[in-house]
Amino acid sequence: MHALTLTLVFAAFVAASLLTKLWLDSRQIRHVAGHRAHVPPAFADEISLEQHQRAAAYTLDKLRFGLISGAIGTALLIGWTLLGGLHALNELVRGLVQSHWGALPYQLALLGAFTFISGLIDLPLSAWSTFRIEQKHGFNRMSWSMWLGDLVKQTLVGVILGAPIAALILWLMGAAGQQWWLWAWVAWVSFSLLLMVIFPIFIAPLFNKFEPLQDEHLAQRVTSLMDRCGFRAKGLFVMDGSRRSAHANAYFTGLGASKRVVFFDTLLKKLSHGEVEAVLAHELGHFKHKHVLKRMVMMFAMSLAGFALLGWLSRQVWFYQGLGVNPNLSAPNDALALLLFMLALPSFLFFVSPIFAYFSRRDEYQADAYACQQAAREDLANALIKLYKDNSATLTPDPVYVRFHYSHPPASERLAAMAAL
């Protein structure tokens, strides 16, 4: 392949993905706006017109913000690649670092500089999302000091965890021969599994408080449910999610000895014991059907294919030149290859995302069906409606947008599927 061919193909995929996103978002905007005057009949008894219109306003604000942030993201992608931004950054960092510190520090510095600049550009968008959109609709509970404190902690955690694995992969790329990608994949999988183990124990408590579930009656119901389902967890915890957001959730986290169940305090305030049990039964449905295990296997298989592809591309001069970078002649190109691969890949995978969304929605139906076997169907339906209402999730999404983007089926389809069981 010639460099010009890759440039044209990449530009075509970037343009096609951007235009498709704009088309899908505009469909969703028109559909939600066009249906905000009336509550869908299936929800008329539970959701008021005011609540329905509040959800529509929240959805529309997020979509319009998404249009802007998506356009900015595309411009940055073109700037980093075809317009030479990454090439210029590489020249600067290499000149400052390599001659004084060597090849590996130079490559780590390049990764760090790129991550820092990208994060800095993203800060205004993140702040606008939190303090403008989420706050406008009553969801944000964070102060500026808490937001900045989280940012500092996220940065430190990212450096402490990210630098060693990045250094290891870069070292393998230079020292393990042409099959480096296989060893790098093993390192990445090992790191990912380790992260699953340590996250609930060491990382999550940096941002939230986790206390054992104090409601003995609810704890007994939850424990009995887990026993019926053959699930073992190391504890039931309540997280102070209300310190940061009014959104409600519950989830399983951890791996092996660190596996635990976490409830947002906002969830426990909004749902009855039976409804909490039904929500947890839905999550246990994912466990029973091995959805999490299957997704892990698929993720690791895809990452193996990705590393193998990167192993081949990193040896092709046209890969660098076609994406706006002249490869180094007197220094390793491994960090450049990693960055270019991570920048370019999402545009090529964008049109595959509906396939993953379909399987995710299928898994949600299976988890709902399992929950209806282990808990009261009415409790699951009521919990679903409450969560949609309290989270201001739209009840009238565009069908095409759903098929492309939604990992969960719309509320009307989930309730209809439950009623048909």
Structure confidence at residue 253 as a pLDDT band (50, 70, 90):
confident
Look at residues 366, 368, 360, 363 and name the one whose alpha carbon lies nearest to residue 418: 368
Q: What is the mean pLDDT of residues 205-226?
A: 92
Residue 343: pLDDT over 80: yes
Find the mean pLDDT for residues 87-113: 95
- State residue 421's pLDDT score: 85
Q: How far does CA 299 lie from the centroid of its chain?
A: 13
Does residue 260 carry a pLDDT above 90?
Answer: no
Within 10 angstroms of residue 116's Cβ, the number of other Cβ atoms is: 11
Work out the mean pLDDT of the chain and round it to a whole number: 94
* pLDDT > 80? residue 258: no
What pTM, to 2 d.p., does this model score? 0.91
Size (the chain), residues: 421
DSSP-based three-state secondary structure for 170: helix
- d(CA 66, CA 59) in angstroms, rounded, equals 10
Instruction: Find where tokens 């089926």 sit.
Output: 409
Please write the tens of the pLDDT for every residue from 285-304.
998 999 989 999 999 999 99
Q: Which of 48-52, 211-215, 255-259 has the highest mean pLDDT?
A: 48-52
Over residues 149-172, the pLDDT tens digits come to 999 999 999 999 999 999 999 999
State residue 233's pLDDT score.
Answer: 78
What pLDDT score does 377 carry?
A: 94
The pLDDT value given to residue 248: 83
Is residue 191 scored above 80 in pLDDT? yes
Structure confidence at residue 42 (pLDDT): 85
> Which tokens in the block code for residue 405?
């983007």
